[in-house]
Amino acid sequence: MELPPLYSEYARYYDVIYGRYLRQRVPRLVDFAVRVFGREAEREVRDVLDIACGTGGPTVELARRGFNVVGVDVSPAMIEIARRRAVEAGVDVCFEVMDMRELRFEEEFDAATCFFTSINYNVTDEDLQRTLRGVLRALRGGGVFVADAPNPLASEQWLRGVPSAWRVDEEGISILVLDAVSMSNVSGLIDWNRTLLISEGGVLRMVADRHRLRAYTAGELKLHARIAGFRRARVYGDMRVTEEEPTSARRLFLVAVK
C-alpha cells in the first residue's frame, strides 16, 4: 500500500504542521470519548484500541488517563514517532503497524477509537465493512466504538472545494501548506491534493501529498455499523452527546456498541 508522503518519508513534519491544532483538540476529543465510554458502553472500559493512531496524540492522552491502550497505524514512520511520544510522556502504550482493514484482535478491548477523519480513508463499501467487522471482532461484548468524520451535508470549507493556504513556523522549520480539495456529490469520493513547501536548514523542498477519501453521511455511518453487526449505532454532532441525527454539525461522531 503506497502511503502519502506526509504519512511516510515526511512523517516527521506531521506534528510540525498540526502541532497547535493537536494541542488544542486532543484533550477535548479524549474528554468526549471518555464521556461516551461512560454513557454508551455496557461494560467497564479499561482496555482501548486506538485505530489509525498516527503519531499517537489521542493514544498517549488516553494512557495518561489510566486506560490500557494499544495503538495501530498502517504507517511504520508514524508508529515510530508515536512510540517516542509515549516514552517522552512516561506512559506505557503498545504500538503496532497494522492496516485498519486487517485488524488482528479477538475480543481484547472494551472500547475502540478512530479519530481525525481516519475512517474516511475507507473509500469503498467493502473497505468500510472490513474495518468495522475487524473492530467488532476486537471488542468484547458491550464494548463501544467511537469514530469521527466530516459531515458532507454541512461541509467544512475544505470539502466545498475552496482552496486554502496556511503557514507554520516551528523550531527552525517553515512549512507553507497549499490545499485543493474536490468532492463528488454522487460518489462522495474526495480528492485532496496538498502541496508542501518545506524550508529547513537553508534547503527548500516541494512535496506533493495526495489523499483519496470518501465522505459518509450520518445515515450511511449508522447503516454500515448495523450491517457489520453492531447491535446499536448512533451519530452525534460536534462532540455533543445530546445531539443525535445532526444535520448542521461540522463533525459527525459514530458511536456503535457490540
Kindly report the pTM of this predicted structure. 0.96
What pLDDT is attached to residue 2? 83
pLDDT tens digits along 33-74: 999 999 999 999 999 999 999 999 999 999 999 999 999 999
Task: Give the pairing type, strands 232-237 and 251-257.
Answer: antiparallel
Residues of the chain above pLDDT 90, percent:
87
What pLDDT is attached to residue 155? 64
**For residue 81, pLDDT beyond 70:** yes
Domain map of the chain by residue range?
Answer: 5-151+215-257, 154-213
**For residue 246, pLDDT beyond 70:** yes
Does the domain at residues 154-213 carry the CATH identifier 2.60.40.10? no
Range 19-34 average pLDDT? 96
pLDDT band at 248 (very low <50, low <70, confident <90, very high): confident
The top-level CATH class assigned to 5-151+215-257 is alpha beta
What pLDDT is attached to residue 233? 97
What pLDDT is attached to residue 159? 60
pLDDT tens digits along 209-237: 999 999 999 999 999 999 999 999 999 99
pLDDT tens digits along 118-168: 999 999 999 999 999 999 999 999 999 999 999 988 865 556 667 889 999
**For residue 171, pLDDT beyond 90:** no
What pLDDT is attached to residue 158? 57
pLDDT band at 242 (very low <50, low <70, confident <90, very high): confident
**For residue 104, pLDDT beyond 70:** yes
What pLDDT is attached to residue 124? 98
What pLDDT is attached to residue 241? 79
What pLDDT is attached to residue 144? 99
